[in-house]
Structure formats: C-alpha cells, structure tokens
Amino acid sequence: MNVLDKIVAEKRKEVAAQKALFSIDQLTKMPDFDRSGISTAQRLKSSVLPGIISEFKRQSPSKGVINDRVDVMKVAKGYCEAGASAISILTDEPFFGGTIEDLQRARPHVTCPILRKDFIIDEYQIYKTKAIGADLMLLIAAILTKEEIAHFTKVAHDLGLEVLLEIHNEEEFRQGYIPEVDILGVNNRDLKRFKTTIQNSIDLSEILPKEQLKISESGISTTKDMAELIAVGYKGFLIGEQFMKHDDPAAELKKFMTEELV
C-alpha cells in the first residue's frame, strides 16, 4: 500500500467510528451548522494581491514533524490579519497531527474563510465539515470517482459550502473534473511518491479550462514561483510548510506577501 492508500484505509475506520457516536441529525444541531459561509472563490477573484491560502499543518507523512510548538488559534488569527485570502487547517490526526478541534478553536477568532483539509470519502464528513465551521472543503480526485465528486459537490453546495477539487495529473483531471466545483487545485506533490515540483502546475495549465478558477498547491517557496504560475493562469496558491517551518508562521506570511513578484 502507498501512503495515500494507507490514509484512506484509516479514514474509513475513523468515519465509521464517528458515525456510531454522532449522527448527521446531531451534526445539524451544532451551533455553527447554520452560519453563513464566507466565499474563498470570491476573495481569490477579487484580490489585487496574490491570493494565498495559508495552511496550519503540524506534520506530514513525507516531512515528519514540521512545527508542533505553535497554537492554531494564534497562527490562524495572524494569517488572517496578514492578508491571507483563506486559511487551510488539517483535521487528519494519524498522518498530519491535526484535529477537528483545531478548526473549531480557530473559527471564532478569524474573519477569513476556512478550508477543512482532510480526506473526504463519505457524505457524513461533509455535514461534519459544515458543523465545525468550515467554509470550503477539499475533494481529492485520486481517491474518488467522478460520480462521488459530483454527488459530494452537490451536497456541499446544498449546505452552503464551497468545493476545492484537487488533482495531481492529467489522468485525474480527465477522470474527475466537473465544472461545478468552485476551485480547481493542482497539487505539485505526488501523493504516492511525495515528490514535489511546481512544473507540474505549469504543465497541466495547458489542458485546464481557462474559465475555471485555479490554484496551485505545494512546493511554492518564492515569489518567483508565484509569478511563473500567475503567468499561466493560476489565481491563488496554497502554501503551508514555507510558513509553518518558522516559529512565527504569520510573520513569514506577512513578509512573503510584501516581497515583489519577479
């Protein structure tokens, strides 16, 4: 089994356990379930600065522990104040060291939209995403069928959530893309081998729909990287490790956003 297969197998067990403890009906009664969402898509489209979705991520299967010393509430608030278009919070615990509680703790302290970054494989997780206060959810084409992507997108939209569909290669785009998604993300990290290069986004830009709002994810470490990606049609960037490897991730984001695009 590759890393992605292991994550999905563990996720199926996790979701089954959550369903047994807390029903969808109970989720719909949680305080944040009825809150109005904040549109990440609109913020990216209207941003005059490079649109950055800054990520809170303690660890990853490829890098191990990145930063387990900082507080999610402080980092999320700092990201938002520094000008992030949105904040991404990992909620997978076994592989990324994140929790549902991380997102719930951050929510009351930020006015930015929040992306729940997790491995969605079941409709139940969409209701959970809404209930914990997220505005945007991730769907990974590599682990879903096109029918699942279409169904999950409709459920999300019905609940007032936006959808970020993530692809890694042309095959995933051909087999999983639907125009109904709000944002299309190209992940520059191969989730099976964990090799990263922004050339992946550049190459795929030639076949992606021009009218689709697109972001590039992973491996973006300089404003030169962003300039190259903007030139081929990307409107936003999901960046995590570049900021999280420092003691003050929000300060690094602020510094990054003031650097001139070259």
| Catalytic one of 57, 130, 214, 235 | 57
Q: Which position among 14, 166, 241, 252 bears the catalytic label?
A: 166
Name the active-site residue from 55, 162, 228, 252: 55
Residues in the chain: 262
Q: Is 166 a catalytic residue?
A: yes
Residue in 14, 162, 172, 217 annotated catalytic: 217
The answer to whether residue 148 is catalytic is no
Task: Check if 36 is active-site.
Answer: no
List CB contacts of 177: < 8 A, sequence separation 6 or more.
Answer: 141, 165, 167, 184
57 catalytic, yes or no?
yes
Is 218 among the residues known to form the active site?
yes
Considering the candidates 117, 130, 214, 235, report the single residue annotated as catalytic.
117
Which of 60, 67, 88, 218 does the annotation list as catalytic? Answer: 218
Q: Is 200 one of the catalytic residues?
A: no
Q: Tell me how far apart the alpha carbons of residues 256 and 216 are, in angstroms, rounded to a whole number.
A: 16
CA distance linking residue 183 with residue 165, whole number of Å: 6
Residue 88 falls in the annotated catalytic set: no
Annotated catalytic residue, options 60, 67, 85, 187:
187
Residues that are catalytic: 55, 57, 117, 166, 187, 217-218
